Amino acid sequence: MSQNKGRKPPAGEIRQSQILSSFGPGSMVDLPETSIIMGGLNQWNYGKTEIPRIYEPRLEQYLQQKFGQPNLSLREPPASSQDPTGPRTGIQSFMFPGWFVAQVDEEFLAPSGKRYRTRPLMPWKKLAPHGGKYFDKDKKKRSVVPVRFVQACVHGHISDINWRYFVHRGASCVGELWLDEGGTGNDFADIFVRCEACGKRRPLSDATLPKSKELGICQGKRPWLGPAPHSSEACGMDEDNRRVYNKLLVRSASNAYFAQTSTVISLPSSDAAIKEAVNLVYEDFLQYAEGADDIAHDRKKKRVSEALGEFSNDQIWEEVKQRKSGARPESKKIKQVEIETLLSQPDEIGEDLPDKDFYARNRSLDGLPDSLKASVDRIVLVHRLREVRAQVSFTRFEAPFSDIDGELQLDVAPAALGLETDWFPAIETKGEGILSPLSLKRSPLGSNAMP
Ligand SMILES: [Zn+2]
């Protein structure tokens, strides 16, 4: 179609795995002339193609329970479309921040006698009528760059600093604002906002003191979710049940965005296989068993031994015991299941086939030096491994607390990735690894299990 011919190329491309780690909804990206905030899940466009689902039942179930959403599913981030005439795919983003600094070369002599590099600070709405350019006092066109400083809160909300309010301490004055920077521009005490009309001048360090209230109460802005009315919500209270105040945030700083993710290793569903095996002979035989010894006894019958196959008497007894008590199996922690599978007795776990997600086998300890033999009682070589990682939220200022059992900590209200969505973005990684009780002590099968 003709309207596609002149279509602008996307502003940038990001690898799918990076979207989940650093460039998810609500993260900020600097582009050559502007800066954007990555759009929420409702801004993820898959075009007409089928939405690529990621199937990982254990992770899906875990998240469904954790978020109380029984229909929750996992999707891959959209891939960029290779077909220039096809429907547009990708992630829509929004211009943020909305304040800019004009690239003029002027100096300000402070009352202290110190000289500052100074540049006009202004909102986009003043620049837009002039094509995003600033006209200096000689009527020369100057380009602009987005201001480095914004304000955000512990719940992930983010917005432009109310610069006028800050410099005037609330008083109303509409003079042109300037940003004075001394030294290298990294010391907040040496960066000032100044009003040209009334002469008021204030260092940014006023906004960085601990418990500072200078940037005002958080208005709950969520510019990554698109235009109003969805783009704000009530911010809520902090953990001490107090109103939440904005904090100064440097856009490009490493604490501006932390993805909160949940990761599992896809395991062969041995549970399902055991249940099926037990189903075959439960009514006629196994329901009368009182212990693993009885299972061994039942196994002497051909029909039972055929049905139970390779499973051990203890494994079968665990399943039978659960059925007899009528109790629901207690839900295990997400990493505990992985450790238990790897430390379970069989020499092989899973099948060594190209289309299978998991295959591990025990390595013989015969060749090990005696000193190691004393402390290692098993080495599991994981030949085939699939890790699925889903992003559920994000934080700013502080990384989400990560639990050694892989459990999500959602104590602080999680920042929303989208509006009323019933899915989370996810990616899969394939690899291999080695697990031995030595490494187990340090890292219970976290990402260290991956190459
Ligand atoms: Zn907030």
What span, in angstroms and rounded, lies between the C-alpha atoms of 101 and 187?
Answer: 18
Whole-number pLDDT of residue 381: 84
Distance from the alpha carbon of residue 246 to the mean position of ligand 1, in angstroms:
7
Run means of pLDDT, 10 residues per run, the chain, 451 residues: 47 77 92 88 83 87 89 87 66 93 92 93 90 86 94 94 92 90 85 94 91 90 86 83 91 93 80 80 90 93 90 88 69 77 72 78 82 79 87 91 74 80 91 59 37 31
Whole-number pLDDT of residue 403: 72
Global confidence as pTM: 0.78
Distance from the alpha carbon of residue 127 to the mean position of ligand 1, in angstroms:
28
Whole-number pLDDT of residue 451: 31
Distance from the alpha carbon of residue 154 to the mean position of ligand 1, in angstroms:
6
Whole-number pLDDT of residue 87: 61
Distance from the alpha carbon of residue 239 to the mean position of ligand 1, in angstroms:
13
Whole-number pLDDT of residue 327: 57
Distance from the alpha carbon of residue 183 to the mean position of ligand 1, in angstroms:
32
Distance from the alpha carbon of residue 244 to the mean position of ligand 1, in angstroms:
6
Distance from the alpha carbon of residue 19 to the mean position of ligand 1, in angstroms:
23
Distance from the alpha carbon of residue 98 to the mean position of ligand 1, in angstroms:
18
Whole-number pLDDT of residue 444: 36
Whole-number pLDDT of residue 449: 36
- The domain limits of the chain are 99-250, 269-332
Distance from the alpha carbon of residue 414 to the mean position of ligand 1, in angstroms:
11
Distance from the alpha carbon of residue 205 to the mean position of ligand 1, in angstroms:
21
Bridge-based pairing of strands 115-123 and 99-102 is: antiparallel
Task: For residue 25, report the phi and psi dihedrals to the nearest 5 degrees.
Answer: -50, 130
Distance from the alpha carbon of residue 299 to the mean position of ligand 1, in angstroms:
63
Whole-number pLDDT of residue 445: 40
Whole-number pLDDT of residue 440: 41
